[in-house]
Chain A
Amino acid sequence: MLLHQLTAKQIQDNIVKRKISCKEVIEDLFNRINEKDSLIKAYISLDEESALERAREIDGKLSNGEDLGVLAGIPIAIKDNICTKNMKTTCASKILENFIPPYDAFVVNNLRKEDAIIIGKTNLDEFAMGSTTENSAFQITRNPWNTEYIPGGSSGGSAAAVSTDIAFMALGSDTGGSVRQPASLCGNVGLKPTYGRVSRYGLIAFASSMDQIGSFTKDVCDAALLLRVISGYDCLDSTCSTLEVEDYVSHINGKFDGLRIGVPKEFFGEGIDREVRNALMNALEIYKKNGAKLIDLSLPHCEYAIATYCIIATAEASSNLARYDGVRYGMRNQLSDDSIMEMYCRTRAEGFGDEVKRRILLGNYVLSAGYYEAYYLKASKVRNLLKSDFDEAFKKVDCIISPTSPTVASKIGEKMTDPLEMYLSDVYTNIANLVGIPGISLPCGFTNSGLPIGMQILGRHFEETQILKVAKLFEMETGFHLKKPELD
């Protein structure tokens, strides 16, 4: 097997057993990046020099017999909306094109502490707004299974990097499915933890009440490994949980006794692609064969989820993005006799792309006087109803299974013409963000045309262990995750 095809855990075993040096891993990886990333365009920026320096340090630690972090030597890619000290963090937006944060995000700090090696920053839809990664101000990322196709989004760069084997692991952010959906479309494992499990400090906000940092990995075990490192209490994020972090890796193996899987009828209805549906049905059969009980469910308020999501996400975004005004940092566009108001307008008009502007406008609209009650307040109430739908459901079942996305990857350019259709494609994922529960997407088959199909497993708040375990069982039974795209 080729080095770059190993999982993070495997590469780390090799490093720790000193079969291979960290430096060799990085060199090999950058060779592959240089060869493949021009096809995929997953990375916005790379930092080979620092990565090599870090690798040498870790090799040094190894030969001195010093203690190593749990991610020692693992090369990892970071979505470019997560702040990295002294490394450009652009949000794929012109307005932050040259922004260099003076601080590390909580998760980045944890990665460094555990000796992971940050190799670069990955592409995304501008400010994580989109489901295709076509809304990047800089480049369009391609799906490694077919470069004519989108990788999904908004964390398309991270998803494509892991599936292309040009990163062993990657971080993304998931506000409405931005980790799970691209993981599904690129055929790897995407985990969105419970809201509050992972600190948002340093994640550039899109919709604060739903944003959550998640991971892309080559298998479930790696997801468990990475979750342990990025989770935990952070006094700088008031919405972060104080609940103790579990040792996920050691709990994901094993059989279930009477696992109850919820199958909501609302998730298998209209609009779902035939091949996706079939793959899911097969997957459910596999669980059944392994002793799980399938339980039909109804989540009656699901039909309002997309509208609710759109209102809350755009409202929060309109306010979160107000700080990009050209005053303190980032792009400033100003003619010599501009007033401050003209400078604001010129900067924001030229700094933001269409999708971002569309959402800022929508958000300002739903919050404006006279509309707040009808939109934002009502959406908050529906959100509570959705939460009780899930509370009820989780009394009867241990997890809920659905497709991650109703369709597989679409062709580049196909969905850009109709934003509404794009919003609708997030139907299965954004409910988890509204409710705050964890979800994981993993490959469960391929279409005849060779595009990956993803399955989503949703669990109770803070029961990441449970969904990882359910996912792991499927992975062992099937092995879809082992299939690699041909990229030549």
Chain B
Amino acid sequence: MEYDVVIGLETHAELDTDTKLFCGCSTAFGSEPNTQTCPVCLALPGVLPVINRKAFEHTVKTALALNCEINNFVNFDRKNYYYPDLPKNYQISQNYFNLGNDGFIELNVKGKKNRIGIHNVHLEEDAGKLVHPEASDASYSLIDFNRAGVPLVEIVTKPDMRCIDEVEVFMHTLRNILLYIGVSDCKMQEGSLRFEASISLCRKGAQVFGNRVEIKNLNSMKAVLKVLAYEISRQRELLERGEQIVMETRLWDEISAVSRRMRLKEESHDYRYFPEPDLVPILVDKKNIESIRMTIPELPTKRHQRFVSEYLISEYDAGILTESKSLSDYFEECVKLTSNSPKELTNWIINDVLRVLNEKKKEIQDFNISPKMLVELIEMKSEIGGAIAKEVFSEMSNTGKDAPTVVREKNLKPLSNTAELSSLVSEIIGANPKAVEDYGNGKESALSFLVGQSMKVTKGKANPKTLLEIFKEKLANSP
């Protein structure tokens, strides 16, 4: 039987702020455990939260970038549950009055445009981290509260995704948008971006969705894709056998590559949400929203389309260039600096710049070669030749020196002095009588051989075109 797959995604992104959501503690990653804590984020008796304005603005920005309606009355709610990494045993989140509602993201799945609905965007605080000792017989766990209270934006989609490809494109597009608008560094390895998925299967064309399974704590995009593939086949098998899908929450076990039951729907928490009385509702000012909207740059989908129409590069190349804001900024910076064709710049960036970045595991922001330096190199290409240009590029990327410096220091300047070249040509002619004879007999390829010999002697520094002309002239004049 054929099935429709219905997938929804909840994304948590750590917001890029200096301090936590409700206190002044630092949010820096990787410090010694519990060094970034205070009475507020440790939930000592008598403390109160104070909202971080920057985190609030970042959430508004996110909601706007995802085409949401911004609620003009925003409030926080307490989500009550007990867990040792949650100091207050409630999380300050939003439930009744989310910051943003009813948005969408436009996807381009293999050339097909598609819209995924955003149910809501809201702001909440992160929990701490349990650290389990390595010894398997240890009878304790430790808690690091450095992360407790770090601001998170939660983005909840509608159940609009129908296949894994869509999910993959969605995650990349969303990550890209968050990076473009600068609200999160989206570093998966530091837990800045985390996902929860919900998935159900129903008979193809059925009006009613099947029973939903939720999967928690997915720390990489790969894990999301793997667990969804696993769930689709698990649920399909059950349905084929005529069994029911149980409403439940499952956890993904990365090592054995299976999902396991965490709890049944009936066992799920009753979070007993109620409005947070320690914070005052925020009346969102229209003017304020507009001024935040002004700070949103051109988003990737739009930029992609513009690159294709304005610079006449392929859809595919435009896709790669707009993959990150900083890369597309880099590209446009280069375009502005040169009259060379954007196509040539694109080739350089995709083939050379990205290759080196990949090898060096670097981001474009930390790249040794600035747009100005790259353009300078490309403009020297006609003079120094492609092979040398690549060599110069490689040296530039290692040392950070500009092209003229590299050419000078490594003595890569092409031999352009005609007198020098002329004597070189005479030498080569003298040393290769056979080839000269062949050329005289009308064998054109002999000329290429002679030029090649000269290149060898000069280690590629001579301009082959000039050489060719001198050879032709000399051989024509020789008896």
Contacts and interface: CB of A to CB of B under 8 A. Distances in A.
Chain B associates with chain A? yes
Given A238-B280, A322-B90, A368 B48 contact: no
A274 to B, nearest CB: 39
A268 interface: no
A149 to B, nearest CB: 31
A208 B47 contact: no
A83 B39 CA distance: 12
A368 B270 contact: yes
A205 interface: yes
Contact of A89 (B45, B47, B143): B45
B87, B89, B143, B275, most chain A CB atoms within 10 A: B89
Interface string B265-284: 00000101111011110000
B78 interface: yes
Contacts of A329: 44
B43 interface: yes
A96, A99, A328, most chain B CB atoms within 10 A: A328
Contact of A209 (B47, B139, B277): B277
B433 interface: no
B429 to A, nearest CB: 88
Interface in B41-57: 42-51
B82 interface: yes
A322 B88 contact: yes
B45 A83 contact: yes
Interface in B72-118: 78, 80, 82, 84, 87-90
Given A202-B46, A323-B89, A102 B274 contact: no
Interface residues of A, number: 46
Contacts of A89: 45-46
Contacts of A5: none
A362 to B, nearest CB: 12
Contacts of B39: 101-103
Contacts of A318: 80, 272
A322 B89 contact: yes
Nearest to A316: B277
Contacts of B50: 235-238
Contacts of B274: 315-316, 319, 367, 372, 376
B44 A238 contact: no
A99 B42 CA distance: 14
Contact of B48 (A237, A336, A369, A380): A237
Interface residues on B, range: 20 to 34
Interface in B22-65: 39, 42-51
Contacts of B42: 328
Dominant SS at the A interface?
loop
Interface string A338-353: 0011001000000000
Contact of A102 (B44, B84, B89, B273): B44
A239 B48 CA distance: 10
B450 to A, nearest CB: 83
Interface string A47-58: 000000000000
A256 B270 CA distance: 55
Interface string A368-412: 110010001000100000000000000000000000000000000
B47, B90, B139, B278, most chain A CB atoms within 10 A: B47
B270 A325 contact: no
Contact of A238 (B84, B88, B143, B279): B279
A288 to B, nearest CB: 40
Contact of B43 (A102, A236, A328): A328
A295 interface: no
Interface in B235-264: none
A327 interface: yes
A239 B280 contact: yes
Contacts of B48: 200-201, 236-239
Interface in A287-334: 315-316, 318-319, 322-325, 327-329
A171 to B, nearest CB: 13
Nearest to B143: A327
A161 interface: no
Given A238-B48, A238-B279, A323 B88 contact: yes
A372 B278 contact: no
A328 B87 contact: yes
A204 interface: yes
Contact of A322 (B47, B80, B277): B80
Given A205-B45, A319-B274, 12 more contacts: A83-B45, A103-B39, A208-B277, A239-B279, A316-B277, A319-B272, A322-B88, A323-B43, A323-B88, A327-B143, A340-B84, A372-B273
Q: Which 9 A-B pairs have the closest CB atoms?
A: A322-B89, A367-B272, A209-B277, A208-B277, A204-B45, A202-B46, A323-B43, A83-B46, A204-B46
Interface of A: 82-83, 89, 91, 96, 99, 101-103, 105, 200-205, 207-209, 235-239, 315-316, 318-319, 322-325, 327-329, 336, 340-341, 344, 364, 367-369, 372, 376, 380
25 contacts: A83-B46, A101-B46, A103-B44, A200-B48, A201-B46, A201-B47, A201-B48, A202-B47, A205-B45, A205-B46, A205-B278, A208-B277, A235-B50, A237-B48, A238-B48, A238-B50, A316-B277, A319-B90, A319-B272, A327-B84, A327-B87, A344-B82, A367-B80, A369-B270, A372-B273
